[in-house]
Amino acid sequence: MGGIRDPGLELYERLGPVEGFSMEYVRGDIVLTAIPDTVHNRIVHLVRGCFPGERFAPWSTQAVAITAQTDRPDPDLTVTHADHGDDYFTALPSALVLFVLEVVSTTRPAIRRDYEDKPEIYAQGGIPVYLLVDPNDGTWRLHTDPEGTEYRTVHKGVFGEPVVVPAPVEVTVPTGRFRRYP
């Protein structure tokens, strides 16, 4: 049972929190991201409010352990069923995750990770819904129906158009109060 461990993942797991940063392990890199600004945080707050507590447990700054992978992304918002709210995990197993949200930052590496790496990572983890919100251009992308390394269905829209999230989540995310970066 003692196969070869990923040394980068081992270092990630040994590191403690870094004040003022979120940390994730993506595609063999430990990524530190500065704490987000108010535009970013407002979007996360508004989306979080769409998930009723009796049905869902929303998590922020919570790593996700992707099934059969070493990736440990830290989505801006992760949602599980409410009955997983009392479970203890250092990283939520992706098999428990119903929904992830990423709000795109302004740096090229962050944009690439959110648009290119993370859809593949989340699909590999079998996460049913990945919502990408981009305050750079005022758009959103809803990824559903994961299969292998991709999502079979991607719906696109602009701020002001609601995001209708299908089963197993079945919520509507209004985007009229989302703002673009200045």
Average pLDDT on 49-60 reads 93
Cβ 114 vs Cβ 101: under 8 Å? no
pLDDT tier, 96 (very low <50, low <70, confident <90, very high otherwise): very high
Q: How far apart are CA 67 and CA 77, in angstroms?
A: 18
Query: Which class is domain 36-173?
Result: alpha beta
User: Counting beta carbons within 10 angstroms of the beta carbon of residue 63, is it exposed (0 to 12), middle (13 to 18) or buried (19 or more)?
Assistant: buried
pLDDT tier, 153 (very low <50, low <70, confident <90, very high otherwise): very high
Cβ 93 vs Cβ 126: under 8 Å? no
Cβ 144 vs Cβ 127: under 8 Å? no
Cβ 132 vs Cβ 40: under 8 Å? no
Total residue count of the chain as it appears in this document:
182
pLDDT tier, 68 (very low <50, low <70, confident <90, very high otherwise): confident
**What totals of helices (H) and strands (E) does the chain contain, helices first?**
4, 12
Residue type, 120: E
Task: Give pLDDT, residue 20.
Answer: 60
pTM, 2 dp: 0.82
For the chain, percent of residues with pLDDT exceeding 90: 63
pLDDT over 50 (residue 1): no
DSSP secondary structure letters along 92-161: EEGGGEEEEEEE--SSHHHHHIIIIIHHHHHHHTT-SEEEEEETTTTEEEEEEEEETTEEEEEEEEETTS
Distances (CA, A) of 174 to 76, 119, 136, 142, 156: 17, 22, 18, 13, 14
